[in-house]
Every structure is written in C-alpha cells, then in structure tokens.
Structure 1
Amino acid sequence: MTEQLAFDLPVQAVYRREDFYASPANAHALAAVEGWRGWPGGKLLLIGPPGAGKTHLAHMWHEATGAPMVAGADLAEADLPALAAAGRVVVEDADAVAGDPATEEALFHLHNMVVPQGSLLLTARGPARDWGLRLPDLRSRVEAASVARLEPPDDDLLSAVLAKLFADRQTVVAPSLIPWLVARMERSIAAARALVAAMDARSLAQGKPITKGTALGLLDRDDAE
C-alpha cells in the first residue's frame, strides 16, 4: 500500500511548571531551581543527560525570574552587559564553552558581572571538572557552584514524559499504550523523545492512528503481547 504524504508540522514544546512531572529522579533538581534565592554564591549548575529535563527547568526559572537565556556556544558573540543587566542569567549547555578561548573568557566575564550580586543558572551534561575548561579562573568559579543532578528516569517519570510528548504533538493515544512502551523502550528521556517522533512520523505516513503496532521495529523488544 502506498504510504500517504506526511507533513513535518512544527511541534510546540511546552515548558510550564504544571507540565513538569516531579518524581524521585528529579525532585532534588526541581527543589534546587525553585529555591534559587538560597543558592550559595548566587549560582547553580544543573546537570544531567540530554533530554533529562534541564531545558524545562531552565525555562521554568526564566519564566519565574525574567532571566534571559543564552546558549553557551553563543556567548562569545553575545552582548554580555545586556544579559547581565537583568541580574539573573541562564546559560544552557554551558559545557559547550570548553576548549574555545573566546567563549570561555565570555563565560568568565558574564559570571563576574552577575555573581554574587545576582543569580546564574548553568546547565550541562556533567560536572565542571569534566568539561575540559582551559581557563583556570573560569574553572575554579564554575567548580564552586552548587550542583543539582537529574537522575535517570523511573517508570512514573517516563510515563509522564511520553504523555507530554504526545500531547505536545496534539496526538491522542490509548492509555494502555504508554505503560506498554515504558516496559520496552530504552530508559532515557532522550529515547522517549526520539520514539514519539518516530511513531508520529510513521503514523502520519501510514495515515493510521498510533497503536502498539506503530512502535514495532522501533523498540528494543518488538513483541506485542
């Protein structure tokens, strides 16, 4: 059967507080971000694997405080005084500055403009000691930040993430599908994101609703019991 044309429609990611599902895997990080007024030294390093929820938490803090957001890789070209003027700044993927002298220096200067009078939130995949920073003064400052870690997701968190990803795509699925997927998929939020995208694309191409059959061939275990 000829597959239908599938249109790659934009997916609207939603980063509201009410869409963030708290679980034992992320409760510490959530509490740390929401308790930002008490950050030691005015800074927090939020770490976790790709897709673990760092961006969601960063957007929540941005909405709560008005802090501008900038990608670490873009810092060398950024207007640092304008960013610092708000007194609070989010640097996403801050570990991307490592190894580039201009970008490392930009993060160093931004840190000094914001901290300790204001608040600085950094996100990264791992602790600062593993970034490979070459600027000693920057390394010492980032390593002094308190660290909040997003742990690997449990079943409840994976279920909530899958439900949100389908909702972001305005896709309705049977309630029984999500626990079925959780029992068979790779246990990471990045995998959940990729799985939902692949299932949605297959569903659109086939012109059929998303079911267990849509997932066959996309999972570690392809049995459909």
Structure 2
Amino acid sequence: MHIVITGANRGIGATLSDHYRKAGHKVTGTSRAGGDFLPLDVRDASSQAAMAAALDAQPIDLLICNAGVYLDKGQNLADGYPTDMWADSFATNVTGVFLTVQNLLPNLQLSEAPKIAIISSQMASHTRAPGGSYIYRASKAAALNLGRNLATDLAHIGIAVGIYHPGWVQTDMGGTQADITLEESASGLINRFDALSLETTGCFETWDGRAHAY
C-alpha cells in the first residue's frame, strides 16, 4: 500500500509514518522544510503542482491530510485574532486540504480502493463550544464540512473520505497535559483508516472509534 501523509515531519504525522513503514508499506511524507521529506507547502499552488509532478503516475491508496496549524492559542477576544492569523490558518487547515486532494486525485484514481483521511478535531463540532480558539475551531469546522462534501462528490468514482478527531494528544500542539500519547492516537487512527469504506464515507469519528456529532 502507498500512503501519502502531509505534515509528516513531526507529531501525529511522523508517528503514523513510522507505524506504516514498520508494517511494510510505502510511505511518502511531506514537509514544508523538505529535507528527508517530499517538499510541500500545502498553502501554495506551485508547491502542490511540484509535489504532484514528483508523484506522477504513482497510485496512492491512502492520502492522510494531516498538516495543520493552531496559531490562535491564547489569543484575547478584546484585541487578539488578527486578520493575517485568520488567513494563514485557513490557508493551511482548509485550502491546503482541498489543494492536496485536488492535485493528487489522479493518483488516487489509480488505486483499487482509494481512501482520503482528513485530520480535523472535536473542536470542529457544534456540540463543543466552550469559547476561545475561534480561528482554529472555525478552520477545523470548515475542514470537516469540506470532507463531508468531498465524500459526496468522490463516492461515484470509488474514493472513500473520512474525517477524524485524533484525540487530545501529547504533542507540541496538544501540550504535555494532553490525554493520550502519540502512539495511542496513531494506533487508533490506523484502525479507523483501515475500517473506512464507501459504506462509511463521510464519517466523522474519534481516534478510538466513536462516531462524533457534527
């Protein structure tokens, strides 16, 4: 199986990459910094085109749209949340997902059972509205909506799409007080991706297999 993971240089993306490689799968990880990874700035159309050219004619069985940012942590409602922070967050968390899917659609169509996994968050759900983190919440809600609509449009060509909450994970983004480890999150997510099919396309699930309210 060939798996492409955006934002594979750290956190959940890196742990997913390690798991899949140890299981014997071919993994293409991307990173804005390049290095040992395929260079990709998910926000940039020319970078997306270069990534697609590098993967030309290679079937992709699973695309994991993992790259994301949480720029507004700790912002104050009175004078925070600047406009460029909104633009930068949506460019990565929403537009970046769309551009990645759009550019790799030909590769996915070369697979016998292609899947797309979009890493969103429980903070995208209308059932969780404790306030704060307006930009991150809004961008992840948009990514959830994007995934649901992609599931509708891609079902007729056999591509399943799932949207996932990875848990509150002990990463740079989640912090040391988070509930679960990277290993727990990655193992659970892999089980979710394995279970994804055209019958469940459009699902919004937690890392441990619970259906999440939209």
Larger radius of gyration: 1
Q: Higher relative CO (CA 8 A, sep ≥ 6), structure 1 or 2?
A: 1
> TM-score, normalised on structure 1?
0.33
**Which structure shows the higher helix fraction?**
1
